[in-house]
Amino acid sequence: MKSVLAASTAVMLAAPAMAEPTAEVLHWWTSGSEAQSIAVLQEQFKAEGGTWTDMPVAGGGGDAAMTALRARVLAGNAPTAVQLKGPAIQEWYEETGLADIASVAEANNWAEVLPERIADHMKCEGQWCAAPVNVHRVNWIWGNKQILDEHGIAMPTTWEEFNAAAEKLQAAGVTPLAHGGQNWQDATIFETVVLGLGGPEFYQKALVDLDPEALTSDTMVQVFDQMRTIRGFVDDNFSGRDWNLATAMVMNGEAAFQIMGDWAKGEFLAAGQEPGVDFVCAPTPGEGFLYNVDSFAFFELDGEEKQQGQELLAKLIMGPEFQKTFNLNKGSIPARNDVPLDEFDDCAKQSAEAMASGSEDGSLLPSYAHGMALRGAPAGAITDVVTQHFNSDMSSEDAVQQLADAVANAM
C-alpha cells in the first residue's frame, strides 16, 4: 500500500516536469466542412506533442456554445481556448479577463501580417488576447450565370442597376433574389445596403459608432426604401428559409441572385459548380469590404501545461500552413496577408485583394449582422427594427425613428 502511494505521488510530482501542452477547445464548428477544418488544427496540435480535448457545442450559431462557456466560467472552470469573435472578445475581457498572448504575437510578427483593423479586434486594452483564424467577406452577391446571360444582365455595381436587373428578371418570370426570412439574413442584406448607399464612412458612423445623426439621416431613410424595394424581389415562400436553401435556389436556376457571405461559395463548390462558369461572385453594389472574422480567445488559467497549450495553439492558429489548409476547407480567406493564394479560387483571390486595398483606404469594415461591429444588445436591437420593417408595411421614416430609439434603449 505504502509503495503504491509513494509511486503515485512520484508520478504526480513528476508530471509537471515533463509538462505537455494541453488544450481544451470550446467551439461550434460541428458541420461537415467546419469539423474538417478544425480537425486540421487538432492534428497539428497533436503533432507538436500536445493533448487536445475537443469540446464542440452545436446549435444556434454559437448561442449554445456561449451558454456552455458562461456555465463553465461561472463554475470557475474556464476552457483553455474558446471560439469568440468581434466585440465579444473585449466584453469577456472586461468580465473575466483573458490571457495575454503578446509573447507569441510578437515573436511571430502578427502586427506585420494582419490588417490593422482586424488586428484591433484581437487586442484587449492594447494587449494581444485572441488569434484570428479566417476572414469571411459578407458583402457578396452571387448570381446564376446561365440566367444572367440569358437575359443579358451583368453583375450590378450600383443599387439602381440591381433594381433594374431585378425588375427585368421579374418581368421575365424569374425570382430575382433568393432570400431566407430569418432575422440575421435580413440584417445581412441591410448592412450591404447601408454600405452600398451610404459608403464606408457612413457605415462606420451608423453601424459601428451608432451616431444618432447618421441613424436618423436621409441616407438611412433611403436605405430602408431600398429594403422595401428588395422585399418585392423575393418569392412568397421566403419566411424562415435557411440560407443554404436560398443558395440552392440560385444553383438550380430558381432564382438569379443571392446576397450572402462567402460561406455560400462552399455550397456552390460542394455541388460541383465552378466560379465564372456556373455561378458568378461579385461584391454587392458599392464600395467596401465587410468582414466576419472567426478567432480564438484564451482564458487566464493556472497550470503550466495549460499555458503552454494556449501559446502553442495561438502559434499554430496564426501559422501560414494552418491558415491555408483551414481556409481552403472553409471557403474563407486567411487573415494573414502573406499566405500564397495559388490554390484558392478566383472569388477568394478577389476577396484577398479587396481586403488589402480596403485596409489601406479605410473601407475594410466589421460586419454588424455577424457580430463584428457591436455588442449583443445594440446589434440585436438594430436587427429587430430591420427585420420588423422588412416583414411589415412600416414606413421608412418610422423605421428610422424606431432604429434610433431602439439603439438608445439598448445602450
Partner 1 sequence: MEWLERNVPKLVLAPSFVAILIFVYGFIGWTAWISLTKSRLMPKYDLDGFGQYGRLFSAPRWDVAMNNLFIFGGLFIVISMVLGLMLAIFLDQKIRAEGVLRTIYLYPMALSLIVTGTAWKWILNPGLGIQQAIRGWGFESFTFDWLIRPEMAIYTIVLAAVWQASGFVMALFLAGLRSVDTEIIRAAQVDGIPTHRIYSAIIIPTMAPIFLSAFIVLAHLAIKAFDLVIALTGGGPGYATDLPATYMYAMAFSRGDLGQAAASAMIMMLVIFAIVVPYLYSELRPRRDQ
Q: Where on the chain is the footprint of partner 1 (CB under 8 A)?
A: 60, 63-64, 66-67, 70, 73-74, 88, 91-92, 95-96, 181-183, 186, 235-240, 375-377, 379-381, 384, 387-392, 402, 405-406, 409-410
Decide whether 318 or 372 has the Cβ nearer to partner 1.
Answer: 372
Shortest approach of partner 1 to residue 294 CB, angstroms? 18
Q: How many whole angstroms separate alpha carbon 257 and alpha carbon 233? A: 10
Kindly list the distances between the CA atom of residue 30 and the CA atoms of 61, 132, 325, 335, in Å, as whole numbers in the listed order: 10, 19, 17, 21
Helices 304-317 and 320-330: crossing angle, nearest 10°?
70
Decide whether 347 or 385 has the Cβ nearer to partner 1.
Answer: 385
Query: Helix (H, G, I), strand (E, B), or coil: what is residue 288?
Result: coil
Shortest approach of partner 1 to residue 243 CB, angstroms? 13
Decide whether 33 or 183 has the Cβ nearer to partner 1.
Answer: 183
Beta-carbon contacts of 15 under 8 Å, excluding residues fewer than 6 positions away, are none
Q: How many whole angstroms separate alpha carbon 142 and alpha carbon 267? A: 11
393 by Cβ neighbours in 10 Å (0-12 / 13-18 / 19+) ranks as exposed
With CA atoms as reference, report the closest residue to 121 among 81, 83, 86: 86
Shortest approach of partner 1 to residue 70 CB, angstroms? 7
Shortest approach of partner 1 to residue 196 CB, angstroms? 22
Shortest approach of partner 1 to residue 125 CB, angstroms? 17
Collect contacts of 215-220 with beta carbons under 8 A, ≥24 apart.
215/400, 215/403, 215/404, 215/407, 216/400, 216/401, 216/403, 216/404, 220/194, 220/400, 220/403
Decide whether 99 or 312 has the Cβ nearer to partner 1.
Answer: 99
Shortest approach of partner 1 to residue 410 CB, angstroms? 8
Residues 343 and 324 sit within 8 Å (Cβ to Cβ): yes
Decide whether 106 or 397 has the Cβ nearer to partner 1.
Answer: 397
Helices 376-390 and 396-410: crossing angle, nearest 10°?
160
Decide whether 69 or 328 has the Cβ nearer to partner 1.
Answer: 69
DSSP β-bridge partners for residue 175: 255
Shortest approach of partner 1 to residue 111 CB, angstroms? 28
Say how many CA atoms lie within 13 Å of 256 toward its Cβ: 26
Q: How many whole angstroms separate alpha carbon 43 and alpha carbon 50? A: 10
Here the cell at position 130 is 485572441
Decide whether 110 or 224 has the Cβ nearer to partner 1.
Answer: 224
Backbone angles phi, psi at 184, to 5 degrees: -70, -25
Residues 177 and 257 sit within 8 Å (Cβ to Cβ): yes
Say how many CA atoms lie within 13 Å of 293 toward its Cβ: 34
Decide whether 327 or 402 has the Cβ nearer to partner 1.
Answer: 402
Decide whether 356 or 377 has the Cβ nearer to partner 1.
Answer: 377
Shortest approach of partner 1 to residue 320 CB, angstroms? 34
Decide whether 9 or 96 has the Cβ nearer to partner 1.
Answer: 96
Shortest approach of partner 1 to residue 385 CB, angstroms? 8
Q: How many whole angstroms separate alpha carbon 259 and alpha carbon 192? A: 8
What type of residue is 341? L
Decide whether 387 or 396 has the Cβ nearer to partner 1.
Answer: 387
Query: Helix (H, G, I), strand (E, B), or coil: what is residue 132?
Result: strand
Here the cell at position 168 is 427585368
